[in-house]
Amino acid sequence: MNNWLALSLTVLLLLGNAYFVSAEFALTGSRASRLEPLAATNKRAQKVLAAIRNLNEMLAACQLGVTICSVALGALAEPAIARLLAIPLEAIGVGPAVVHTISFIVALLLVTALHVIIGEMVPKNVAVTHPEKSALLLVPSLLVFDKIFRPVTASLNWISLHIVSWLGMKPRHEVVSAFTAEEVASIVEVSERAGVLQDPQGLISGSLEFSERSVGETMVPLSGVVSVPAHVTPEQIERHVAETGFSRFVVRDRNHVLGYVHVKDVIAVRPQQRRLPIPMSLVRHMETLRAEDEVEDALRIMQGTGTHMALVEKNPGELGGIIFLEDVIEELVGNVRDAMQRER
């Protein structure tokens, strides 16, 4: 092959190697949370997210591309550069044996330096610095490469996954882009000590511990709940409000909880009905949660239904207590002053 043609191909192979290295580090460094807001209107972001979810196969495509470029670079560049270096060495009278040795060593060092700097280090640093931008630029074309060589990349991926499994490890199929609660808590603690983050109310720390609490740990036992009988009258409820300061009361029929009543519903009752038992239509429904459910789930359910309290079952059919929205919020942000129906 013509030496200058070989050098031209060398440049293309270096750029190809840089492309695959950049794509690999861009994929592993990109966070889905940063790309998801773009995915609604950006097709490139959609493709990058799809690639991240199929990470193993995409990395196999990158490695295949890097290997092809590296092997071809060694096969074409080193001999071509060695032949070009031999010309001036022979012209100054260097012996053939020495010419071959010198040209080979210099060509090897030059190609290695170009490969490491241009083909590896520079693209890696660019991709690590701007992972999402690099991914948006490179990954769509990488998907085309993967589609063309899918039989090869799928086979390589299958083999690598089985080797990892044989080593007793569980393969991952996508980038883990989230911090654990312990990692975030450590970051918050270090940042507070360094003075770069202020969390005087403990809101950040509380939110990290929020999901660790269970409904059973947060609920109020039935013995600590102020309740009213099913035949309670509006006048009696108003007296309870004056005595306790609470605005909502659990309605019970002996040992059975019917729901709860809100004082604002009772105020609207007509004067002639104030000494009559409240109609059951004023008794609001209460959702039922399990004691082992997370407080986070309780908050989501209460938000969805618009209720301020829920029943808690220790075991199926066995009522353990009541969980109040106030207590759930306090787990997150600290003390909240509100009129709720429980003894303190």
pLDDT in tens, 116-147: 999 999 999 999 999 999 999 999 999 999 99
Check whether 317 has a pLDDT greater than 80.
Answer: no
How confident is the model at residue 201, as a pLDDT? 47
Average pLDDT over every residue of 205-231: 78
Judged against a pLDDT cut of 80, whether residue 66 lies above it is answered with yes
Q: H or E segment at 321?
A: strand 318-324
Look at residue 17 and tell me whether its pLDDT is greater than 90: yes
* Residue 19 phi, psi (nearest 5): -60, -50
Mean pLDDT, residues 9-26 taken together:
94
Tens digit of each residue's pLDDT (9 = 90 or more) over 247-281: 889 998 877 889 999 888 888 788 888 889 988 88
Among 27, 93, 34, 107, CA closest to 65: 27
At the top level of CATH, which class does the domain 211-333 belong to? alpha beta
How far apart CA 64 and CA 62 sit, in angstroms, is: 5
pLDDT of 305: 82
User: Looking at residue 76, what is its pLDDT?
Assistant: 86
Percent of the chain with pLDDT over 70: 83
In this prediction, residues 182-202 reach a mean pLDDT of 57
Pairwise pLDDT comparison (14 vs 76), residue with the higher score: 14
CA distances from 100 to 71, 73, 83, 97, 311 (A): 21, 19, 9, 5, 87
Highest-scoring range by mean pLDDT, 29-43, 188-202, 276-290: 276-290
pLDDT band at 22 (very low <50, low <70, confident <90, very high): very high
Mean pLDDT of 174-197: 56
Contacts of 309 (CB under 8 A, 6+ apart): 248, 250, 260, 286, 302, 322, 323, 324, 325, 340, 341
Q: Is the pLDDT of residue 339 over 50?
A: no
pLDDT band at 206 (very low <50, low <70, confident <90, very high): low
**Mean pLDDT, the chain, integer:** 82
Ranges for all domains in the chain classified under CATH 3.10.580.10? 211-333
pLDDT band at 342 (very low <50, low <70, confident <90, very high): very low
Given a cut of 90, whether residue 203 has pLDDT beyond it is no
Report the range of poorest mean pLDDT among 83-92, 140-149, 192-201: 192-201
Mean pLDDT for 278-305 is 86
More confident residue, 22 or 273: 22
Gap between the Cα atoms of 155 and 59, Å rounded = 13
Average pLDDT, stretch 142-155? 91
- The secondary structure of 217-242 as a DSSP string is HHPEEGGGB-EEETT--HHHHHHHHH
pLDDT tier at 344, thresholds 50, 70, 90: very low
The proportion of the chain whose per-residue pLDDT surpasses 90, expressed as a percent, equals: 25
Residue 137, pLDDT score: 94
